Homo-oligomer: A and B are copies of this chain.
Amino acid sequence: MKVVIVGGGAGGISTASNIRKLDKEIEITVLTRDNKVAYSPCAIPYVLSGKIESFDDIIMRTPEDYKEKDIDVITEVEVTEVDSDKKTVTYEKNGKKTVMDYDKLVLATGGNPFVPPMQGVELDGVFRIRNIDDGMRVQEAMKDAKSAIVTGAGLIGIEIAYALKQQGLDVILSEMLPQIVPRSLDKDMSDILVKYLEMEGIQVVLGKPITKLIGETKVEKACFGDEEIYDADMVIMATGVRAELDLARMAGCEIGRWAILVNDRMETSVEDVYAVGDCVESKDLILGSNTISQLGTTAVRESKTLARTICGKKSKFNPVLNSMVSKVGKLEFGAVGYTTSFAQQNRIRPVVQKVQALTRARYYPNAKPMDIKVICDGNGTIIGCQIIAEERVAERIDTMTLAITEGLTCFDLSNMEFAYAPPVSMVTDPLILAVEEVSKKFN
């Protein structure tokens, strides 16, 4: 059997590795546009900030390493055609076209940074971050730059803004919505982050889209709304990612609102064509409707399911909650499930409580404040949680992910056992304080 995988990102390359773990015989070819594979794009901002020394450090494996596993990785190719009747893909490398047969085709085409149509986006000094080469270009450009504007205050935008500030640039972080991290955080929680970013010297401009970029050949200024004009030696467009769907359309795959439709075995609507990663839709665990989960972890988890499907084993990908975490400077912030406004948009009347606790016993040195917000539906079932602190956020998000997955109410969780020692927690865990408080709203 011959499996051809289009895309060398987390979804594609993990699918290749996972198939190989299950089966030594299957022929596996990965076709990728990039010249590098097996790196974590999530790490790009940390290289830019100087926290990680070099881009080389974040490359986990080379195409040669995959050769050793008998996985053929062909880099710097453009796949131009898919024919799902004849079961072929056509790709171009160095101007030369090759037609390749497949028994099973995996579309791991990922996403492209979405750049709103706007005057000046084609100027030099305007960047988007899709891959490691983009990261290198930004790294090069920031050496001569004094000021930067990062537009789009999702995770990547915030992380890049912080990185550039660390490198001594004057940085503006701009977001057209009235808050940062709108997908995962409520405004009051995101305000804690804004305050921190401002304390670190980043200027945060909310509620105003960039309307044009100004410059001769190189960007010099950005215009916010109608009148506000800021200088900028470089502009990073971190305005989101759109699934890349051209090949999926060519193959005849059914496309949903945002991306390729797959079932819980990662099969598309076309026989022997599968899809994985940022280019597919997932099921939302709470509502059961479709959603988009463009996270590295989701891609990696999907790749395990897909490898089992391809190898003829029992497989099932579960609905997602889009559990996330990030760290910017000292602050770790994470979230899972629905925000208050997302719940409202979906006709859930959320019952919400925010508490502040500590990461250690009150009397233990270096106890840090921890802000927690818990969101329940009208029955007390937990549907969301957001946490910000200098430490110990990620695993608490994981606990809440498990609680939501299991359908627990705030009353259930209030009774749960938590491990305690003065250096690592409060005798009543911050999560328990939060769910106890929200429980009171149901009395």
Chain A residues in contact with chain B, CB under 8 A?
10, 40, 42-43, 46, 51-52, 57-58, 60, 295-298, 300-301, 316-318, 320-327, 332, 334, 336, 361-365, 392-399, 401-403, 405-406, 415-425, 427-429, 431
Identical chains bound together, number: 2
Task: Check A418–B392 contact: CB distance below 8 A.
Answer: no
- CB contact under 8 A between A420 and B43, given known A365-B52, A394-B425, A395-B392: no
Shortest Cβ gap from A382 to chain B (Å): 12
Task: Check B401–A419 contact: CB distance below 8 A.
Answer: yes
Known: A40-B427, A398-B418, A401-B419. 13 other contacts (CB 8 A): A10-B427, A46-B422, A52-B363, A296-B427, A297-B427, A297-B428, A300-B428, A323-B417, A325-B421, A325-B424, A394-B421, A399-B399, A402-B403
Shortest Cβ gap from A212 to chain B (Å): 33
> Within 8 Å CB of A416, what residues of B?
398, 401-402, 405
Q: For the complex, give the distance between the alpha carbons of A380 and B267 in Å.
A: 28
- State which of B58, B324, B406, B415 has its C-beta within 8 Å of the C-beta of A419: B324
5 A-B residue pairings within 8 Å (CB atoms): A10-B427, A43-B364, A46-B423, A327-B421, A392-B395
Q: For the complex, give the distance between the alpha carbons of A327 and B320 in Å.
A: 34
Task: Check B393–A424 contact: CB distance below 8 A.
Answer: yes
- CB contact under 8 A between A40 and B325, given known A396-B395, A427-B297: no
> Within 8 Å CB of A419, what residues of B?
297, 323-325, 334, 336, 394, 397-398, 401
Q: For the complex, give the distance between the alpha carbons of A362 and B52 in Å.
A: 11
> Within 8 Å CB of A361, what residues of B?
40, 43
- State which of B42, B365, B420 has its C-beta within 8 Å of the C-beta of A297: B420
> Within 8 Å CB of A423, what residues of B?
46, 51, 327, 332
> Within 8 Å CB of A418, what residues of B?
297, 323, 398, 401
- State which of B321, B394, B424 has its C-beta within 8 Å of the C-beta of A327: B424
- State which of B42, B317, B362 has its C-beta within 8 Å of the C-beta of A421: B42
> Within 8 Å CB of A298, what residues of B?
417
Shortest Cβ gap from A432 to chain B (Å): 9
Shortest Cβ gap from A223 to chain B (Å): 33
- CB contact under 8 A between A321 and B417, given known A393-B424, A427-B300: yes
Shortest Cβ gap from A286 to chain B (Å): 13
Shortest Cβ gap from A368 to chain B (Å): 14
> Within 8 Å CB of A405, what residues of B?
416-417
Q: Which residue of B lies closest to A431 (CB)?
A: B398
Shortest Cβ gap from A374 to chain B (Å): 15
Q: For the complex, give the distance between the alpha carbons of A159 and B40 in Å.
A: 39
> Within 8 Å CB of A323, what residues of B?
417-419
Q: For the complex, give the distance between the alpha carbons of A327 and B423 in Å.
A: 7
Shortest Cβ gap from A118 to chain B (Å): 30
- CB contact under 8 A between A40 and B422, given known A51-B365, A417-B297: yes
Task: Check B392–A394 contact: CB distance below 8 A.
Answer: yes
Shortest Cβ gap from A194 to chain B (Å): 19
Q: Which residue of B lies closest to A318 (CB)?
A: B415
Kindly list the 9 A-B residue pairs having the minimum CB-CB distance in the complex, ordered from nearest. Answer: A395-B395, A325-B419, A327-B423, A394-B424, A297-B420, A57-B363, A323-B419, A397-B419, A43-B422
Q: Which residue of B lies closest to A362 (CB)?
A: B60
Shortest Cβ gap from A9 to chain B (Å): 12
The CB with the most chain B CB atoms within 10 A, among A298, A323, A332, A421, is that of A421
> Within 8 Å CB of A397, what residues of B?
419
Task: Check A424–B362 contact: CB distance below 8 A.
Answer: no
> Within 8 Å CB of A60, what residues of B?
362-363
The CB with the most chain B CB atoms within 10 A, among A296, A327, A425, A427, is that of A427
